[in-house]
Amino acid sequence: MYQKQLEEYFAAHRDEMIEDICTLIRIRSDRQEPKPGMPFGEGPARALEAAMEIGRRMGMKVTDYDHYVATFDLNEKERGLDILAHLDVVPVGDDWTKTGPFEPKVIDGRLYGRGSADDKGPAMAGLWAAKAVKDLGVALSKNCRVILGSDEESGSSDIAHYYKLEREAPATFSPDADFPVINVEKGSYSSDFTAQWEEDTKLPRIVSVQGGFRRNVIPDKAEAVLEGIGLEKILATCKDYSKRSGVAFSAEEKDGKIRVSAQGTAAHASMPEAGANAVTAMVEFLSKLPMAESEGFSKLCAVARIFPHGDWAGKAAGIQMADEISGPLTIAFSVFTYDLTSLTGIFDSRVSLCANNQNVRDMLVKDFGAAGMRLGNLQMRPGHHVPADSPFIRTLLRCYEQYTGKEGKCIAIGGGTYTHNLQNGVAFGCADLEVDNHMHGADEFAIVDQLILSAKIFAQAIIDLCQ
């Protein structure tokens, strides 16, 4: 029921919905310095204000939760469904080519701009879905609440604040991932590791190493400075290792030292196989060089043994595992710094539902401890699973199949969404698994037709879950 009405509604209001998305994209809303009444800075606060103005124009009941979160209620009845999205974005670089990151533009059916896919476009698809149900006068016995946050990209303290004040709805979905339905999110175990020692002046030696900038990003660059070794030998090793590693190595002599650079391919830490990790390649490259024996070099070689390049399954660390529901564990060694007296690294592991402290954390504590290094975090985050045969999941899949004609199925991911800690929360849209939207990258885009289709699916889900 209502499919014909929803098709006609969104055909008539297509341009209005896209313009609302563009209004939000024009606001730079990456996390900034807090200000009074702006817990995540001016940009996220402005984005929330703009969304609340849109909601008021739509006739929704709008509530501001201390500028952490804004909510939009369809009616005054008991909540049957929450749609949970976010308006903050990740920072941008200067490598955009289609348009400026905050200058939205539709080109060949694609809406370019930061947040178009993650998550301003999907957020507005959810809000417009609620408006469609309201405007069509569909009789509901329950309320649908759209919840828009402003700190998802930097830790989700916004939604933690909200759930201190409000209870969960019986069902929640977040349009911040892929269709059909993501009902399994792996757990995680991330930590830094550190070591210190006295400087050793014997040559040749490694003066410094630097690579990576964020734990959940496969690093595409790494650099090292060497002393007491010839450039010709390093260049020959660079050529050989570039072929074997899939990471491009180069070297030059400057100020009497050799500077080595590694250029890989960035990816999200939940999908390390999609990238070429410049940090693991650099550490392994350095461990093979004829450096003088020293405590620092010994520890670097230990890191290379625990995280050999290309081993994102944790095999060398003794934590390789998988289960039928969530799939294999993955691990990404993503940040590394080394100098003459210390080293610090960070890894990010997305662990299967079968993971526990004994078979993951304790194994890594043992490996690093044997090499004289210490882990900074000993807390694992458990995985999240909503059974595929639950009425909620079956309803979402039915709505997806009804509007797409494609088979609905459940998916497990290594990433985490807003719904990870909600008992009956899943990710549902907006992206198509077969499309690379350049999320978190330059030229991020959303397919306009996909956003409109998503709004129809969400509206049908509201009707089916709240009637």
Dihedral over alpha carbons 134, 136, 141, 147 (to 10 degrees): -30
Is residue 143 a contact partner of residue 466, using CB atoms and an 8 Å limit? yes
For residue 320, count other CB atoms closer than 10 A to its CB.
Answer: 15
- Contact indicator for 63, 15 with CB cutoff of 8 Å: no
Here the tokens at position 224 are: 């090292």
The torsion angle over the Cα atoms of residues 319, 322, 328 and 330, rounded to 10 degrees, is: -10
Active site residue 88: yes
SS3 sequence of 176-191: CEECCEEEEECEEEEE
User: 30, 73, 82, 88: which one is catalytic?
Assistant: 88
Q: How far apart are the first and last CA of the chain?
A: 12
Q: Is the dihedral of CA 373, 374, 379, 381 positive or negative?
A: negative
Bridge partners of residue 447, in order along the sequence: 110
Cα separation, 225 vs 259, whole angstroms: 5
The two tokens of residue 236 are 């020959």
Q: Are 110 and 431 in contact (CB under 8 A)?
A: no
Which residue type does 427 have?
A: A
Q: Answer yes or no: 293 catalytic.
A: no
Of 152, 185, 284, 444, catalytic? 152
Half-sphere exposure of 276 (CA within 13 A, CB side): 14
Positions annotated as catalytic residues are 88, 152
